[in-house]
Chains A and B, each alone.
Chain A
């Protein structure tokens, strides 16, 4: 017991406080992600550590610690993530970091702890690369640095806030280095593949459509992509961002027709006749490879998977923000002739089910002499019947099309699109469902169009011989405002129609808030464009532009120089620069004084001390006695009695030196 007491290391109070602060701060976003593990562990570890710190309880024994590690791993295992995944790895890092709290016994442990914090901070980058996340990480770094500073402070009694002040100062001072590193540090492709965060497919449009999948999406305000156009855009109601094409129906769920749809890897496919629209799309990380070009996609600079149903996929899942350049043209006619195999695919329906709809389709077919009139009859049906557009439709369990068309008559785009395609196919017209996004919000400041999950939409394409695929949006027959106003305004309009509408006045400050939201979105756009999107290509362009490098030889030389420079920086930061002790300022001033007097004919012998030099100099330059006297006396005190010498002596020395 005595021996233990002798080796006991008392954690400095300030360090303890900062460490707890930084840990709580760092766990916040992860606590949302792994709440089941992190929150209880965080509370337990901090409370326990606090008790140890207060010397209420002892350090946990080895067995106890081992048990906690096992418990921690078991808890991570129980999390709903794959065992080999990014989430699990991060969770293990967090659990380890928190458990290390209980193991802190020596200075070394505290250092390890502070440094672990930096790893935890960086782990945040794997999940979120937004500007807010960057701000959060910077604060985290400042806090972690503060704990490190407090640990290394030799001086006592500087207060709890001092380390944070010093840390912030250090951070501010390192901003230029950070900027330089950001701009110039070679951006190499990583040598390893980081497993990506698992995302539920509900966070984006996928290649199947089950009842309610789009309804779920519409509730989300998450950004899907931003599109920038050369010309200013005002009306987005005609923007149909085309995503997965669904052509196979099993009575419940719509799927893509993978077995009949071929896809090629290509940059451009279709000859565009007139007035093509070129635009850039910056996709947020969706963890799928689906792309959403405007109708109708014509070409891209990049090689992409272009399917024969005109849907577009990236070559790899979009795991981080990525920019694509597309050209679209809405005048293009698609598939003027359709092979029989495809035609039968687009006519395929389940053998059984929905008898009423089939019968109604038969009626429609009989009543119309060609496909065009059939379509207009069908459209008229949707327009005349009392269909209601609502995000909360009744549940249609069996024969969903029948129930929807003839009983409930309430639903949203998903219902309209799928029943429309059912009717068309039953009537013998090839048809398919297109999912994607419709509309988008124009940012008034930056001019880009932001498309969010709430803009998710499903519509229909029918094939008419000689005309090709034609887009029909049955939702617009029922709820034209949905298409015109977007989902939220549309819903309000809806309430107005059904009499549920409460007059909602524009409350005070709403406009300001909307402006702020637009500004924030604009900032995010700039961030993703300028910072996150700054890649090796941009860097190279910047460097060659800045240095005016034109020939390949220059570029190669620069590259070699940069690599050698980086190597030297790393080498010297590890080994340390050959250091020369710089002279203190008063010594420098003294040397200056000696040089000055030398010009005036007073030579200082090597072995002469400052006071003897004063005597020597005043003998030769009696008119400068005062300046010499004050200067050298100040120098003597600063050199040989620095403890009791006022710091402003240096300023006085400078003044006297001028008078010599």
Chain B
């Protein structure tokens, strides 16, 4: 028989990660794919943008993720009057010592949940996004390193656009993936209705932050064969030639696709990419990057679906 010897993932790494996925699935019912994608995003060191209506479980997902990973978690509710210092931190005069002391903001954490990021003014948005990209903040000439690992899960409300500042395309690009949770399935919803829990249960930490860092470094060893790269390039070319898109996927977008696919593949316990990995993550990686080129997110989603169906494997 064909020898199956995955050399990269340690025997337990995949199962540990899948345990974490299962645990989160207990909380957010029927959303296994979205949860997996969220984990992928974390593994790929990317930031996640969740766009959905209120009450769909965005915060629940972020919270459960943070708990399962056993990492430090902060939540910031963005409003239009927020200033960068409210997130990054500020220097406060210490009267006892007669010096300025840095008072770190909520960004100094492993996982930051930025709720309704499009409500903040562009100045605050860009301060956060800069920190996301550089993993460090500069306050009054002094640079502070953020914690490692560091993720941002930002949520956006597509409704009630009044008084919001939509993220420009260049800043959307900083998010590795964009997810939309959507309504739960009938079965999941029934289970939800049956349960008495309204508060979130406390989840046990399944993975340590060191483990997570280790898994992240493993992604580099996932093998991408020539034939797979052929497929990816064909896919990219199709986004760039598509008649309904004003522009295609950027090289950074392509890198994001590969990283996300690697993470997906790692979760599946393989050490080599197959086209299905690409297809699994493609929509979430593409949509926010193409939505401005397309008429709407829904249109972008349809286009991605069509692209995947028409690009020969």
Do these two chains really belong together in a complex? yes
- The digit string for A641-656, where 1 denotes a CB below 8 A from any CB of B, is 1111110010010000
| CB–CB B309/A607 < 8 A | yes
- Do B2 and A633 touch (CB < 8 A)? yes
B271 contacts across to A, CB distance below 8 A: 641
Distance from A359 Cβ to chain B, minimum over Cβ atoms (Å)? 105
The residue of chain A having its C-beta at the shortest distance from the C-beta of B308 within the complex is A607
Interface mask (A600-634 → B, CB under 8 Å = 1, otherwise 0):
00000111111110000000000000000010011
Residues of chain B with a CB closer than 8 A to A611's CB: 274, 276
Assess whether B2 is in contact with A612, with CB atoms less than 8 Å apart: no
- State A641–B273 Cα separation when bound (angstroms): 8
**Complex: chain A residue closest to B270, CB-CB:** A641
Whether A552 is near chain B, meaning CB under 8 Å from some CB there, is: no
Task: Determine whether A356 belongs to the interface, using a CB cutoff of 8 Å to chain B.
Answer: no
A508 adjacent to chain B (CB < 8 Å): no
Selected from A609, A630, A634, A649, the residue in CB contact (under 8 A) with B274 is A609
Bound form: Cα–Cα A637–B223 in Å: 11
Residues A641 and B225 in contact, CB atoms below 8 Å apart: yes
A641-B272, A652-B2 known; A606-B310 Cβ under 8 A: yes
The answer to whether A606 and B309 touch (CB under 8 A), given A630-B1, A640-B228, is yes
B242 at the interface (CB under 8 A from A): no
- C-alpha gap A608/B231 in the complex (Å): 12
| CB neighbors of A among B201-255 (8 A) | 223, 225, 227-228
- Please indicate which of the listed interface residues A634, A641, A645 has the most CB atoms of chain B within 10 Å of its own CB: A641
A605, B279: Cα distance in complex, Å: 14
Closest residue of chain B to A606 (Cβ to Cβ) is B312
Which residue from chain A places its CB closest to the CB of B274 in the assembled complex? A640
Residues from chain B with a CB closer than 8 A to the CB of A643 are: 223
Pair A609/B225 contact, Cβ less than 8 Å = no
A636 contacts B by Cβ under 8 Å: yes
A639 within 8 A of B: yes
B94 → A minimal CB distance (Å): 59
A634 surroundings in chain B (CB, below 8 A): 2
Query: Total A-B pairs in contact (CB under 8 Å)?
Result: 62
Given contacts A637-B2, A644-B5, A649-B2, contact A610 B275 (CB under 8 A): yes
Mostly, the A contact residues are helix
Separation of A608 and B279 alpha carbons in the complex (Å): 9
Distance of A235 from chain B, by nearest CB (Å): 78
When the two chains form their complex, are residues A609 and B276 in contact, meaning their CB atoms are under 8 A apart? yes
Closest to A609 in B: B275
Residues 61-102 of B at the A interface (beta carbon under 8 Å) = none
Interface residue tally on A, bucketed by range: 20 to 34
Question: Which chain B residues border A642 with CB–CB below 8 Å?
Answer: 225
When distances are taken between beta carbons in the complex, the residues of chain A under 8 Å from B308 are 607
Closest CB of chain B to A264's CB: distance in Å?
Answer: 78
Residues of chain A within 8 A of B3, CB atoms compared: 644-646
Which residues A25-63 have CB closer than 8 A to chain B?
none
Give the distance in Å from the alpha carbon of A630 to the alpha carbon of B279 in the complex: 22
Q: How far, in Å, is B311 (CB) from chain A's closest CB? A: 5
**Are A608 and B1 touching (Cβ within 8 A)?**
no
Interface bits B1-28 vs A (CB < 8 Å: 1, else 0): 1110101000000000000000000000
Task: Give, as a whole number of angstroms, the nearest-CB distance from A137 to chain B.
Answer: 43
B139 within 8 A of A: no
In the complex with contacts A607-B309, A608-B313, A649-B2, A641-B227 CB distance below 8 A: no
A355 to B275 alpha-carbon distance, docked (Å): 113
Residues of B within 8 A of A606 (CB): 309-313
B313 touches A610 (CB 8 A): yes
- Are B310 and A640 neighbours in the complex by a CB distance under 8 Å? no
Q: Which of B228, B272, B311, B312: most chain A Cβ within 10 A? A: B272
Q: Which of A239-285 contact B (CB under 8 A)?
A: none
Q: Which of B227, B228, B273, B313 contacts A607 (CB 8 A)?
A: B313
> Which B residue sits closest to A614, measured CB to CB?
B276
**A646 surroundings in chain B (CB, below 8 A):** 2-3
Closest to B235 in A: A607
Complexed CA–CA distance, A609 and B235 (Å): 13
Across the interface, which residues of A come within 8 angstroms of B223, CB to CB?
640-641, 643
* A639 lies within 8 A of B227 (CB): yes
The answer to whether B273 and A640 touch across the interface, beta carbons within 8 angstroms, is: yes
User: Which residue on B lies nearest to A612, using beta carbons?
Assistant: B276
With a cutoff of 8 Å between Cβ atoms, the chain B residues found around residue A612 in the complex are: 276, 279
User: Could you list some 26 contacts between A and B, CB below 8 A?
Assistant: A606-B309, A606-B313, A607-B308, A607-B309, A607-B311, A609-B276, A609-B313, A610-B275, A611-B274, A611-B276, A612-B279, A630-B2, A633-B2, A634-B2, A639-B225, A639-B227, A639-B228, A640-B223, A640-B227, A640-B273, A640-B274, A641-B272, A642-B225, A643-B223, A644-B272, A645-B3
Give the interface of B toward A (CB within 8 A). 1-3, 5, 7, 223, 225, 227-228, 271-276, 279, 307-313
Interface residues of A (CB under 8 A from B): 605-612, 630, 633-634, 636-637, 639-646, 649, 652
**The 9 A-B residue pairs with the shortest CB-CB distance in the complex, in nearest-first order:** A609-B275, A641-B272, A607-B309, A609-B276, A640-B225, A609-B313, A611-B276, A606-B312, A640-B272
Given contacts A605-B309, A644-B5, 18 further A-B contacts (CB under 8 A): A606-B312, A607-B310, A607-B312, A607-B313, A609-B274, A610-B313, A611-B274, A630-B1, A636-B274, A640-B227, A640-B274, A641-B223, A642-B225, A644-B272, A645-B2, A645-B3, A646-B3, A652-B1
